[in-house]
Chain A
């Protein structure tokens, strides 16, 4: 077994009396609560759950494996240092991690500080992403929706999210009016929302 894959036979930590099987199915808040008690095994489980997702977003933005790993590590170390900040909110940890990964990566490109207050919002979600199958299903669904968007809508929203361009920069790059760029991004996000709430 590669060293980076989760080991299902790991002994439970002393701070935990629950079997490891439960750890793999514990919801995010359950894992964060255990991380708050210093449970490194819970931290490991959280990384196994979302490490790839965070790394993939950072890599898509930065296009550099080393920098993407740096961003990923900083985010998970931040979670380890202060999991209480997330325990108190009832948001989607997955969504939060994705947005933070994107913002940290953009900041690395721009070499400027993040607009932290945007990240402080808890993200509502009714989707339980604890199980791998549900995670894969959701990610596949989102990729399907993105792929089905009209080219100009998908391009506009990707330039904003993954390239960190402002609406005026997108307008300049694509040669489209500012209002058109805004409308395309709104339509793309509306389509995604509708698809995910069906």
Chain B
């Protein structure tokens, strides 16, 4: 991924607002994982996005909101224990009373400082681990939600099953679209696809039953064996599909289909 071009600025802003398609969001995340330049650019984009949020007209808090929050805070334990107080006070006072054995107090103080430093390091390590675990949990949760959606789309009796074939040569490239209109969930799996030039891509289209314009439903390129898939592209819910089609478009995709339609099915 690191050899790929950097993420365009406009896509970083959309990523920060989670406004990319799931595929684009995933691809951007994968690139950010390995590209320090784009991570730095994302910080700037996040600041711009936060500024948009700050443009919201300030609204008065509901009556008692502060009191309700503080009551909840008072009954909510913190994840980390409060920091310990100063540890050197005890031994210094002890020195005055102990006379010739005052050095024992300093030894104790140093030992306590060493323990405190060790505990502090341990705490830092735990916080770091906690942060990593949180990220992992978020990924797993997102993954589980996606799997649940996928399962429903595949198994629901309401899912529409469509087989797409190449318009002129039905026997060769084949695509299967599974679409659940109520959830806007679409899974498209194709095989025996012909390769497309580097600067081109296949684009899947949903043709609405209400006669509106075809809706872009995801870009895909076949792998070495000619297989490809589009899983849960961002589609509005409740759109009944009259048909599905596939065109070949420029690599960045298109908002309207470019003829010819190379695969179609209904």
Residues on A close to B: CB < 8 A?
3-4, 15, 36-38, 40, 43-44, 47-48, 51-53, 55-57, 59-60, 65, 69, 72-73, 76-77, 80-85, 88, 92, 94-96, 98-99, 101-103, 106, 112-118, 120-125, 138-139, 142-143, 145-146, 157-158, 160-162, 164-172, 177-179, 182-183, 185-186, 188-190, 192-193, 196
Contacts and interface: CB of A to CB of B under 8 A. Distances in A.
B18 A55 contact: no
A113 B9 contact: no
Given A92-B47, A98-B50, A123-B46, A81 B58 contact: no
B42 A146 contact: no
A120 B138 CA distance: 11
Contacts of A92: 47, 50
A85 B130 CA distance: 9
A98 B59 contact: no
B205 to A, nearest CB: 12
Given A69-B62, A179-B255, A88 B234 contact: no
Given A94-B50, A161-B53, A172-B215, A82 B69 contact: no
A77 B78 CA distance: 9
Interface string B49-76: 1111111111111111111111011101
Contacts of B11: 182
6 contacts: A36-B80, A69-B65, A101-B53, A161-B17, A188-B52, A189-B48
Contact of A98 (B53, B66, B142): B53
Nearest to B11: A182
A120 B78 CA distance: 20
A80 B43 contact: no
Contacts of A168: 21, 216, 234
Nearest to A192: B51
B19 A193 contact: no
Interface residues of B, number: 71
Given A60-B56, A85-B131, A178 B15 contact: no
B45 A189 contact: yes
Nearest to B66: A4
A113 B145 contact: yes
Contacts of B68: 69, 73
B89 interface: no
A171 B255 contact: yes
Most A CB within 10 A of own CB, among B16, B74, B77, B139: B16
A166 B47 contact: no
Contacts of B255: 171, 177-179
B79 interface: yes
B48 A121 contact: no
B47 A55 contact: no
Given A56-B57, A115-B138, A186-B9, A123 B43 contact: yes
Contact of B54 (A73, A138, A162): A138
A122 B43 contact: yes
Interface string B1-39: 000000001110111111111000100010000000001
A170 B135 CA distance: 29
Given A160-B19, A179-B255, 10 more contacts: A3-B64, A40-B70, A47-B69, A55-B61, A69-B65, A106-B18, A117-B29, A123-B50, A161-B53, A171-B255
A106 B215 CA distance: 24
B236 interface: yes
Given A51-B61, A56-B57, A160-B19, A116 B10 contact: no
